[in-house]
Each structure stands twice: as C-alpha cells, then as structure tokens.
Chains A and B, each alone.
Chain A
C-alpha cells in the first residue's frame, strides 16, 4: 500500500532511508525519522484498535505521550512489549506491531456489537452493580471480563535484554528540551553550572520542530538544532534525548529513563537496552510544556478526529496530512494555525468552526485572508461515521457555549482537527505532594507551591507564546544559576485573541440521550457517565475519578482530566477552582520493570553471604537454606538418601560419635572498654559482674517491653574485653541496638563495639568423641573434663593455627567450637574432618542442628519466640538476674499486669500421641477438638521434628498456662481435616539431667 498521505517534500524525515514495517499483518513503508504513528497515518491506516469497554473503533488522536488510543503490541515472542503508544515508537526497518485488542480483528470487532447493545448496561461502576450475585459466580464472570477488557499481553519468558542504572549529581536539572528548556539550559550552561537536560523525544526542540515561526530571524527548527549543538559543545552540560524524567521525588531527586536501543531493534544487540538515571539536583527546572485538549462532543472518538496541533505536527515534522477534507473545531486561535498548515499542504479546509462569536486575532485574519471559511459562534455537536469520520454536524451556540441555539448543518469531511485549549503538564510538580492551582486567565491548572528547589519555565506555567517560552526559560536558567541577566528573544508579532473556556459542546439532546461524548478515551468514560456519578452522590473529584475510572489509564488522563473536571464542576454548580483536580503519581509514562530492576536481578538480586568453608560444602553435596542473606548447609545428603534419611544419619552420628556444623554465620560482636562489663549487665537479663576471663555465659537480650529479642553466648576475654555472639539473622539488629543505647542513653560509658562476624570462622563439633578429635590437633591446651569445664574458653593452637576454643553446646552433647581467622576457616574444617575420620565424623546442617537442640528444649529466638515471649514464658527464669543493681533493659516490664499474668502462653514440649506423627509447625492448639468454630485457640506449635534418637515425633509450642498443664492432652486441628493429639510435657526430651554435655 502506498503512502497516500505522505507529502512530496518537507518534514524532518530522511527520505533516503525507507523502512518497512508491518501492522496487523500488513506491510507498509515509512522513513527514518517517522514514528510508528506518523508512518501509519502516512499509509492511511485509520483504525488502530478498539476501546476498553465499548470496543469502539479508535484511531490516532495525538502525536506524543498524550496518545490514549494507539496502544500497540510491539515485536514478538520474548521481545514483545505491551502498550507502547505508536506516537512514541521510533520506526525501524522490520518493526512489527499489532493492535492490542479487537476480535477477530481491530477492523472487524465483534465486541463492538456488545458495546452497542450492551453499552446501556455498562454505565460507570457497572461492575459494582452487576455480576454481584450469585457471589460464587464472580470468578467465572471475572475470567470473561478480563478476556474482554484490557490491552496488551506480557511475554511469559524472561526478558532478553539487560538494563542498568547510574547515579548522577548536578547543579541544574532541566526537564524538557522544547524552547523553554533549551533556553534555560543554554543560560545555565554558559554560567558554568553542571547541567543535565533531558527530553523524551529523539530530537531536542519540542514544538520548535513543527513550528513555522522564527526565533531572532532563524527558522524555529534550525534554531533548535543550533541550540542543541551549542549545548553538546559545553563540557559541563549532559545532553540526553530519548530520556523521560518520569518521577520527581523528595529533595530534588529526579529519576529518568534513557531508551538506548528501542529505536534500533526489538532487542539490544550489545549493551543495555535502557538505563535508569537517578539524579540528585540542586535546582530543577520544569520546562515540560502543555498538552492540547480535545473537545467533548457526540462521537468525538471516531478515527480521523485528532488534536489540532498534532495535525500540524504531522504535516510540518513528518510530511503527513492525515486527510483530504478537514474541519477545524477551535475555542482559541491555535486551530487557525492548523487550518493554514493544512491549506499549505495542498488539502481542503472545509471550515474553521469557532465557538467564539467574534474571533479576530492575527491568525484568524490570516486564515480569512487565505480564503478559509470561518463559522463563528458555532460548535461541532456530533461527528458522523462508523469506522472513520465522514462528516460533522455544526450548530450555532450561545455566547457561553452552553446551548445549541439554531439548526445544525452537516459538513462532509474525513478529518476533524480539534483545538480545545491547553493543559500545562504539571505531573512532575505533583509527585511530592504539591497540588496544582487553577488559574482563570489560563483556563488551566499550573504547578502549585512546593518546598523543592524548583523553577518553572514556558507553557507549563500557562505561557503559550514562543517568545514567552524562550524568555521565561532563559530567566529560569539564570535564576537557577544565580546569575542576574538573561538572554531575551524576538519571535515577531505573536498577538493572539482571547480563548474561550469551553470543554463540552452541547447537543440538541440532553447529555444522557445524546450520542456518546467521550471525556477519557482510554477508559471509555463519557460525559453522561460523569453526570451519572455526580447524580449518584459522588461529590469529591477524587471519588468521581475512582468511580468512573477517569484518568486511570496508562495515559493518566493527559487528554481527558481537565474536561472531566470541568463537567464535574458544571454538574455540581461549582467553579473548576472549587472542584479541584486529582494529582499524579510517578511514572509520567510507563516504565518497564526491567529498568527498575537494572542489574540487580537473577544472581545479583540479593547479596549471598558465604562462609569460608563454602567451597567444601558445595563439593560435598550440601543442600543449602537461606538464613537472612547467608547460604547455610541445610543437610548433607549422601548418594540415594532422602532428606529424612540424611537427618536421621546426621543426628545419630552426633549423639553416638561426633558431627560437625559450620557455625560461622552467628553474629559476633567484639566489645571493649572499661565499662564493657557494666554495659553487658544493662543489656542482658543475667549477671556479668563476676564472669571471669576464660569463662562464657549464655545471655538473653530483651526489648524494653520485657520480650526476648535475641540470645547468644558471650565470652569474657579480659575485664575490659568481651566477645558477644548473636543469632545469625539478628547480628545487625543487635549491633544497632547496642550502639543505640550507648550513643543515645549512656554516652559516658567507655565501651566500643565492632562487628567481627566475617572475621572469624567457627567449626562447631559435638558428640562423645569430640574431645578425642580435638586432642589430636591441639596439644597446648589441657582439654580434659576438669581443666576445661563446660562454658570455658581457651586460646590455643589447633592444627598449627592460633585459635580460640570454646566448650559450649547447643546439642546437649560434649561439644567444642574452634574459632580461627576466617581465611583459615576452610583449612581448619578440613583438618578437623581429617582428624575425625577414624570416628566417622559427620558434617551436619541447620536442620539437624534444629532437631538436636529441640530434643534438649533449647529455644531459637525468632522461631520459638516472636517478640511476645518473656524469659519466664520460655521457662528461662533462671537466666534472669534477681539482684542486679541497674534495672536492665526489659526488667521493669515483668511487673506490668499483662506480663505478670499466670495464664500467659508458656513454652511446653508436645509429644504426639501417635509416635509416628510429626505435627506441622504453626498448627493451632485447642483443648477440645469438637467445640464449635471459632475455637478457643490456646497456642501453637513452634518447632516440630522427627527424632531418630528417641524414635518418635517431638515438638515445642506455646500454650496458655502451659506450665500447669503437664500431662494434659491437647489437639491440633489441621486444614486437611486431620486432628493430631499430643501430650503436654517438658520440652527437654533427651537426657534431662544433662549428663552428656557435662562429660
């Protein structure tokens, strides 16, 4: 198909570089420099898709980010992208695009029948009113609604592209490179400030690229090229086209998305496809421009009805006229420029329909002088056509534009250009909470007051003349750079007549009966729908927005919101200023999650922490589990073993001979200073005053509410030197806690904290033969039972390496931990494995560790406690010092009425009645399984395992008043219907006297 709408010359396209593309399976031609939209229009493509709710045929409305209709499905397979706007897709050779909806095709869509017939049954909020009953049918309805509605599809395959992120700082950030932005950046750049200037388009210049005006005697587009070249020549200015500043966050933090290869092909051949720029700026200049509004009239959504300045842009920038016979509808002088552009392109302007009764501005005169017919005091009340516009009914209106005051006349046309006024692009100014302000003289909202160091320039403030944009841009650039004088520009005579504030063109029929008058194209919200919302009692603009879904689409209502707000205001007899506006969140235009993820995906999603022994664990078949960011061996299956078989073997090995666990991940905090001992007294429940060097003690740490928050063994190295251990997951929080109390409450105490978790590797080995293993490698420490008692530590030489040896136990067996500097941890582990070989030393992981400690009734903070258990609740009253001088953290809370209750949930052991059963962790505990629902829940199971040593399942849990319920039977009703019975018992299932670890 040839490019029927392409002009023979002109435009900024490169005719020496033709390109092929396909849309909905048909192949077309375009040129380098086209957008997909301009190329489609050049080829006479009318219908680009179907609307969201009513499935109405839709065409291209605009030329940029404001486009609500032309959402495309780009590329194929794993490269496919849902919903980019055709107006923002740069054409490349071989591009494939399809409509995102329409079945069997956008041209012939059966859903539109539903829209015609069923439209009456789908008013705003219909999904709240219909499909309500029967309730159980909702999931069925939802499937059909989901299929019928919606736009593009995601690929379910991994994104083939990579993305990255970069941080930047600058003195002046300029958002927008139209006339105002360029002038601002030139000024700031010349002052020597570090400047970053971004624009979403492939070329800087904005409106200058389609303008027929001059700047200081130079053609607008040529001036833009020169300005861009000047900026690129400045070392202190970073020029970034194809970069959308989509979010403006607190304290002048702007995030921008740079599209590096989208214009080249479906996938980046080398490097990253897109880059996220995270920019901290001293000053931000918003030069984001304004978007033209359509007008609301009957059937205003027909293909062939476009924004007036978009028509001008297609003509002047892309050399495309999207029609042969055009009617221009305008409320201001802008429409006349389009009429002149169409005529200059050799097409017919049937008439300019102006709602104003006596327009006589400079452009109006020029149009009349060119022989263009002007129908003043009139409006298009209805467009005609089914798949494309074929005509417009024009009728005379009263002065206010509220009523039709005469008979309508039908004009035949295939293009309607609508100039409904301008809406400043305020979006970024709202992102940190500033509310835009209505200005009557602008008939628009402009950015409101803000605490950010922000400047405004150009059309975003309601100044629509080119000279105003350039001059205010230069001024903003100067202010932001702390310079006083700014360049001024001359654009000749720009005198303009007054605009009329008209949003909805009345029909002869009332709104509820007239042909649909669309306000929000993307979400199919009509004027009648908004009136209905107001009638149903939705008075606040925020409620109207949510009830009608106005402004909800991916276009954030760029062309619809103001018209919608004006209609709401009118319906409620308020001014627009009184009605107010909804505001905007990032992103200004959609951002792919790939760009937000950047490089932090896959293996780089989260740091993985490995101990020094990691290579050994990998080589020996360990299965791993995540403990915080640590990869810890979970269990070490041998060939053919199930997990349970591995656990059984590991646990038996520990109880019968010797097993070894990598305990390097536990937090280790080195505490020094003359007040270290007193500090420990304050943060732990137990007493530390008499702990001698060479001794260790288990410490319990509470928050001020008396609840357990962490625990660990702390060793006394000297009177002013301690080594504290914490849980693996709690290390950072505990360090922060210690610092908090020292820095904010007790700064006079002399004590220093250093994290040494990564500096020491820990081999923990347990079992009756553990001492024999150590004795083979360590000869300078007396390791006998009398010399090295339970909870002693010694410095010694193990396998030739200076080490700290601790006799502590979490398994209830005779147990030692050897700490060496981390870079020797792997070596130490191997030497211990070697020494233990004759005893069948068995590596074990976290799961066996959990089983072994549970057999001894030892809690794990964070598993058996959840921030609501006191030491007494956990049967650890023995760890609470009763005669400590300083009221340690949490002590006072013990006597709070709630903490002192006797029926609090207490730690208990649970022995399943059926010895083969392992109760699921988390199971709720009740006394009577036959009581009616909701049952009285007495507690829950916190830890539960199969104990190979004991030959039955064991569990720990919390039960209200559990300490007084020894021997009682409780029940765990499960979601699958089973009820498991268990007997409350002591949580110390194994070796209750503690003979083993005292050997």
Chain B
C-alpha cells in the first residue's frame, strides 16, 4: 500500500516495534528506511526497541551444548596440508566478499536477500544486514549525532534531484547514509562513498539502490569521522575504485 498523506512519523511509530525484530514486510521495511532519518522520535523509539530485541536473543531457555560439538569444530579447523596451501587464496576471496558486503543495505528482512539466488551468499547478506543494523542503532543512540543533507551535483532530472542524508557523530568511524532518487545503475556498477580531507579521498563503502533509487547504508571510515571534511558519492565499477572515476552524484560537507 503506498504511503498516504498521513504524517510518515506516525506510521513509523507503529512500525518500529516490528521493524526492530525484522518482522516488517518488504514495503513496510522500505517505508521505515525511507523516513527514519527525518523522524527523530522514531530514531529514539527504534533505539529503545533495539534494546529489547537484543535482550530477546538472550531469553531462550538455557540448554547445554553437547561436548561432541567442540570436538567436531576442532576437527574442522585443524589445518591440513591441502587447506594450508589454499588458505591465502581463500582468505583473499573472503576479503573480496567482505568488501562487497560492506555495501549492504540496512534492514532485517529478506527484501534484498530474496533477490539473490545463491543460498550461501544470501545467508552472508542476511548476517551482514543484521550486524549493520546493530551498528546503525549504536550510532543513532550516540549523544552527539548530527544530520546533514548532501546537495546534488548537476542532477539529470532537476525536479527530482538525487538526495542524500548523512547521520554521523564526530568520534565514530561509522555513519548512517540514506539516499533517494539516485539513478539506477548497470549490474556491473555500484555507488561508492568517498570521505574527503584536504582533497584526499578514501572509500567509505559501496552500495546499490532499489528500483526507486533508495538505499540506507552504513558508511565505514578508516578513522573517526572528525578527520574528514566532506563526503561524496560517485558511480563506480561494482568492486569499487581506488579513486573516483566519475563526477559525484552528491557532495557536501560532513558537518553542519
């Protein structure tokens, strides 16, 4: 059901409890992600329910793990000559996979994962989404959190220019980025976030947008965000670039 003229913050308040445990349907999840940054009360509300969600993980009845499990795990991690020979390559591949998951959209349910056919990758995506959400919740609970809008640079459609909002705190190395009206990209492309200090750029992660040009992303910086002045977003190859290869979609100061 499309959003109506109702106050989105009121609908958000209704959805936050279910969203916090991943029980919202895809359209509801998209609605929460699209409007969260503009509803400060909902952000606080979400932080409260996230605490409950965390507690529920510990609320399962206690059971004793069978001792044979540790034996099985030890057997599985014991290095064999073949495994040792493969390890450097395998870890390199894992590194690429980890880099790809950095770009994952925040959200608990299967909205994105359902689009991926490979079961193992889907599972990795789900896990990364959850850990990213935990990161986002920790961030939005920070006392010195600030919010800035990043202006579009030469938008192709002036009436609906790409828009981005960054929620960050100076002493954190992560930030929450929401975007909308971003142009769709070819499958071999992704958007790359750049953190800028005195003309030097470092990558803050990769992401893709949904069919309506929206995304919510965790930005990861090598150091606390107070070390940077600006942030920009450019379209790049899906694996990312060492430096921007295209003009920015949006760019602006990190701090108000």
A complexed with B: no
